[in-house]
């Protein structure tokens, strides 16, 4: 200005497009700076902000500042695959979780064929518990940003099939040619299947011995054992 020092001129944003803000306007020896923000509802493309300068005698002038608004991008979210024993628990943290603004929430979008418990916290860490059934499952986690734009990320959860346990019963004695009688031959257990649903078979039986009528009662296995002549 020809009469007021440049640093003493007052500058204001007199016309600001919807969804935009121009704040903290500062005049440093005639160089004007400000914080320019585009909200989620700002119009994508060239936006015109009208700036008005006023001198000490209330004379004014204007200039148009062009602000190019680009579209909000979706968050980035990735996970590695994870393995867990059947019935067990584990966690899976994101290998990447970024956004041009901020991620406002995470959610379990789909757990596929997995029937156990799965949750995700505010940091994107997935918690797995009561893992079942055995096999490979695809889980989908959704990250939603501050503008309600989302990204879905999948990972494979491998649930191991723990082997059942079997403990042989006490030694059984049979006389040659005697009638077969019942005896407890084993006890069985499993971390995924209730003991009474486990199947027990005599897979190797010496010549002359028969094992029939195998019955599993809550994990206690009985059968009729006989020794022929």
pLDDT digits (tens, 9 = 90+) for 165-188: 999 999 999 999 989 999 999 999
Gap between the Cα atoms of 115 and 1, Å rounded: 74
CA atoms within a 13 Å half-sphere pointing along the CA-CB vector of 89: 5
Average pLDDT over every residue of 61-75:
97
Is the pTM higher than 0.75? The answer reads no
Residue 40: predicted pLDDT: 95
Residue 76, strand partner residues: 98
Q: What is the pLDDT of residues 96-115, one digit of tens each?
A: 999 999 999 999 999 999 99
Token duo for residue 152: 């879905």
CA count, 13 A, side-chain hemisphere, 227: 6
Give the C-alpha separation, 103 to 99, whole Å: 6
Question: Which residues, including other chains, have CB under 8 Å from residue 14's CB and lie 6 or more apart?
Answer: 50, 51, 52, 62
Cross-strand pairs, 221: 186, 216
């Amino acid at each position: 200005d020809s009469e007021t020092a440049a640093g003493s001129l007052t500058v204001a944003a007199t016309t600001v497009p919807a969804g935009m803000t121009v704040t903290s306007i500062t005049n440093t020896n005639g160089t004007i700076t400000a914080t320019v923000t585009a909200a989620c509802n700002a119009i994508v493309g060239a936006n015109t902000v009208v700036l008005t300068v006023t001198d000490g005698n209330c004379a004014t002038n204007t200039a148009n500042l062009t602000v190019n608004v680009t579209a909000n991008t979706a968050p980035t979210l990735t996970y590695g695959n994870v393995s867990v024993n059947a019935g067990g628990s584990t966690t899976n943290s994101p290998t990447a979780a970024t956004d041009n603004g901020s991620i406002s929430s995470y959610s379990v979008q789909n757990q596929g064929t997995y029937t156990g418990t799965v949750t995700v916290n505010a940091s994107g860490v997935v918690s797995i518990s009561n893992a079942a059934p055995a096999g490979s499952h695809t889980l989908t986690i959704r990250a939603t940003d501050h503008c309600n734009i989302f990204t879905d990320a999948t990972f494979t959860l491998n649930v191991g099939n723990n082997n059942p346990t079997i403990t042989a019963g006490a030694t059984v004695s049979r006389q040659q040619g005697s009638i077969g009688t019942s005896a407890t031959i084993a006890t069985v257990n499993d971390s995924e299947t209730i003991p009474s649903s486990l199947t027990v078979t005599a897979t190797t039986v010496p010549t002359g011995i028969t094992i029939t009528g195998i019955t599993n009662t809550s994990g206690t296995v009985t059968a009729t054992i006989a020794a022929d002549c």
